[in-house]
Amino acid sequence: MKIGIVGSGAMGSLFGGRLSLSGCDVVLYDIFREHVEKVAAEGLEIEDAATGAVAVARPRASIDPRETAGADVLIIFVKSTATEEVAAQFVPLAGRNAIVLTLQNGLGNEAILSGHFGPDRTAAGVTSQGATFLGPGRIRHAGRGPTHLCMSDGKNEKLTLLRAAFEAAGFETHVSDDVAGLVWSKLVINVGINALTAITNQPNGGLLESEETRAIMADLVEEAVAVARARGVALTHGDPLAVVFDVARATGANRSSMLQDFDRRRASEIEVMNGAIVREAARAGIPVPVNATITRLVRALEKARAR
């Protein structure tokens, strides 16, 4: 199976590297030339946060999107702000039977991809795997958890081979019938963790060590769950806050994607996480003061850093 990873930061490199180690033909695509060249020349180092062991994967890596041509699956890991651009760029390169899977954070990515590739070729997924970018050619596998996949057209038999490839790579993988439930359930986790780690400058597990941050997490999650219910979305977990705490604990050493954005002085995905809750709440007429304040804080910090 040929798999193209579109966006090879921490998470893209983790999935691409592990899939490569398990025998898949993997192409890591990214615009970060130094990282790509390091992987192409010396391989990708994947450090296990639990044991400290380092595995070296040797996927192909390129800054040329044409290298992904002929892939059976394209897995999209770019920032949500780039999804529209990437979708338009890769449509001509994807084969007629290729599946395009989003494992990105936030709301809206599946709809964008489906608009370009069609629901029959689009899949949405969520994952509780965690990864930290350590530098060009180096990442840390910082946390483990299940991955859930679903075809946009509901014909999940198309995912049989991909699920088997994920399992062979060491990723616990399940196929679901509910895209919205999957995406919103992951959104609730992101809302409860990511922005707060960026604001407090600590890894996921650090949030659990303070009564204050645990209380803010609870408020953020409660508001997000209320909005999901107002939209008629059935979440996949009976106790969303317990799941958020479990994910923070399981990925304790991980620096969330938003914190890594802060580390690298890049624009965050606040608008598709807590910001999405604020927008959806406004449509439903539901007050979400904690998510609104957290969203404003992240925006303010980004502007301050830019100055």
Q: What is the CATH number of the domain that holds 213?
A: 1.10.1040.10
pLDDT, tens digit, for every residue of 127-139? Answer: 989 898 999 999 9
Q: Among 122, 156, 177, where does a domain finish?
A: 177
pLDDT, tens digit, for every residue of 58-70? Answer: 999 999 999 999 9
Q: Among 136, 160, 177, where does a domain finish?
A: 177
Helical segments of 62-210, H only: 83-90, 109-117, 160-168, 179-200
Q: Say if residue 123 is in the same domain as residue 254.
A: no
Tell me what pLDDT residue 182 has. Answer: 84
Structural domain containing residue 12: 2-177
Tell me what pLDDT residue 245 has. Answer: 97
Active-site residue, 186 included = yes
Q: Say if residue 144 is in the same domain as residue 270.
A: no
Question: What is the reported pTM?
Answer: 0.86
Q: Among 149, 177, 205, where does a domain finish?
A: 177
36/29 Cα distance (integer angstroms): 8
CA torsion sign, 55 to 243 to 152 to 163? positive
The partner residues of 147 in beta bridges, in order of sequence, read 127, 173
Q: Say if residue 196 is in the same domain as residue 92.
A: no
Mean pLDDT of the chain: 95
Task: Count CB-CB contacts under 10 A for residue 33.
Answer: 10
pLDDT, tens digit, for every residue of 219-262? Answer: 999 999 999 999 999 998 889 999 999 999 988 988 998 998 99
Q: Say if residue 261 is in the same domain as residue 287.
A: yes
CATH number, position 23: 3.40.50.720
List of residues 6+ apart from 66 with CB closer than 8 A = 93
Q: Which of 38, 79, 186, 303 is catalytic?
A: 186
> Which residues of the chain carry a pLDDT beneath 50?
none
Q: Taking CA 106 as the corner, what is the angle to CA 302 and CA 294, rounded to the nearest 5 degrees?
A: 40
